[in-house]
Amino acid sequence: MSKLISVVIPAYNEEENIIVIIDRLESIFKTLHYDFEIILVDDGSKDRTLSIIKTAAAARSNIFYIEFSRNFGHQPALKAGLDQATGDAVISLDADLQHPPEMIAEMLQKWEEGYEVVYTRRQEDKNLSLKKRKTSSMFYKLLSSLSDIEIEAGTADFRLLDKKVIDVFRDFHENDPFIRGLVKWLGFKQYAIDYIPGTRYAGSSKYNLKRMMKLALHGVTSFSIKPLYSAVYLGFILSSLSILYVPYVLHAFYVGEEVDGWASMIMTIVFFGGLQLIILGIIGLYIGKMFMQGKNRPNYIIRSTNILK
């Protein structure tokens, strides 16, 4: 019997891409000696994505769908697919064909060589807008410098995970998981393949600057408490500096020197006001995370699926 490969695809408003990606996957697997299943996760799409997915699933026995009760986001959609996948290996990729399905052959080959995680690294792409490139490189720099986990530039959610890894991952009930970081954190034998991303086949990107920023902050605060330490150090350094200022102020007072530093005083107040807000914000983020985790809500809610378990 040949091994089963599960392909997990989160989709949000991807009506024009679904059929294309299914076709591409089918023609690739025709050349390989594996059984495969496709799990399409509809993340509360507002267009015809769901009905297209359902039609495809009805026509073939190896296509499954998961319908969310609303839009939960890319990471929860991916997690839902991984939770349901039954393959000996699971490959996740985006619905928009930016992750070339043709790389699957190479990923499977590495998997057969014994690697349990085969992830991909997107190379700098001239087709991407400058803004997108800048924000994504900033994203990885920020992530790596502020957290304890080294996340390489360009690693998106296009990867192969062995069943062993999936089994471990299924037990993670972390609120709002940051899968990119978690996979790195899990360890196992990992292998990276570089690729040049394609352009989106149809539709538009769901990530704007605001969402990227949110994802970056989320990545950092999910993986380390380093920012809390830097807040403490920064506070410590700044208050030591201000203590150094005290003898000067006392001296000025005794010799009756005019205090004419009004402008610098206001600047200091503003500076420290801002600093305190930043640090409070950092602390607030962590408390917010504890609050969310404390409620222990599921990461996603399935409205319907044709996966029988």
Footprint of ligand UDP on this chain (CB under 6 A)? 10-12, 14, 43, 71, 73-74, 77, 94-96, 98, 205-207
Paired residues of 191 in beta bridges? 118
Nearest by Cα to 289 from 205, 224, 211: 224
Dist. CA 110–CA 247, nearest whole Å: 66
Residue among 95 and 179 whose Cβ is closer to ligand UDP: 95
Rounded to the nearest whole angstrom, what is the least distance from the CB of residue 229 to ligand UDP in the complex?
A: 30
The one of Mg ion, ligand UDP, none whose footprint includes residue 95, by CB under 5 to 8 A per kind, is ligand UDP
The one of Mg ion, ligand UDP, none whose footprint includes residue 43, by CB under 5 to 8 A per kind, is ligand UDP
Residue among 146 and 179 whose Cβ is closer to ligand UDP: 179
Rounded to the nearest whole angstrom, what is the least distance from the CB of residue 167 to ligand UDP in the complex?
A: 23
The one of ligand UDP, Mg ion, none whose footprint includes residue 74, by CB under 5 to 8 A per kind, is ligand UDP
Contact 203, 96 (CB under 8 A): yes
Dist. CA 207–CA 135, nearest whole Å: 11
Dist. CA 101–CA 170, nearest whole Å: 25
The one of ligand UDP, Mg ion, none whose footprint includes residue 206, by CB under 5 to 8 A per kind, is ligand UDP
The one of Mg ion, ligand UDP, none whose footprint includes residue 162, by CB under 5 to 8 A per kind, is none
Residue among 64 and 158 whose Cβ is closer to Mg ion: 158
Please enumerate, as own/partner, the contacts of 133-139 that have beta carbons within 8 Å and a separation of 24 or more: 135/209, 135/212, 135/213, 136/212, 138/216, 139/212, 139/215, 139/216, 139/219
Residue among 16 and 26 whose Cβ is closer to ligand UDP: 16
Residue among 127 and 276 whose Cβ is closer to Mg ion: 127
Rounded to the nearest whole angstrom, what is the least distance from the CB of residue 211 to Mg ion in the complex?
A: 12
Dist. CA 63–CA 36, nearest whole Å: 9
Dist. CA 206–CA 203, nearest whole Å: 9
Strands (E), the chain: 4-11, 35-42, 63-68, 89-92, 117-122, 159-162, 190-195, 302-305
Rounded to the nearest whole angstrom, what is the least distance from the CB of residue 73 to ligand UDP in the complex?
A: 5
Give the footprint of Mg ion on this chain (CB under 5 A): 94, 96, 98
Rounded to the nearest whole angstrom, what is the least distance from the CB of residue 270 to ligand UDP in the complex?
A: 37
Rounded to the nearest whole angstrom, what is the least distance from the CB of residue 194 to Mg ion in the complex?
A: 18
Residue 203 structure tokens? 């539709």
Residue among 15 and 37 whose Cβ is closer to ligand UDP: 15
Residue among 141 and 214 whose Cβ is closer to ligand UDP: 214
3-state SS string over 84-105?
Answer: HCCCCEEEECCCCCCCCHHHHH
Contact 7, 85 (CB under 8 A): no
The one of ligand UDP, Mg ion, none whose footprint includes residue 101, by CB under 5 to 8 A per kind, is none
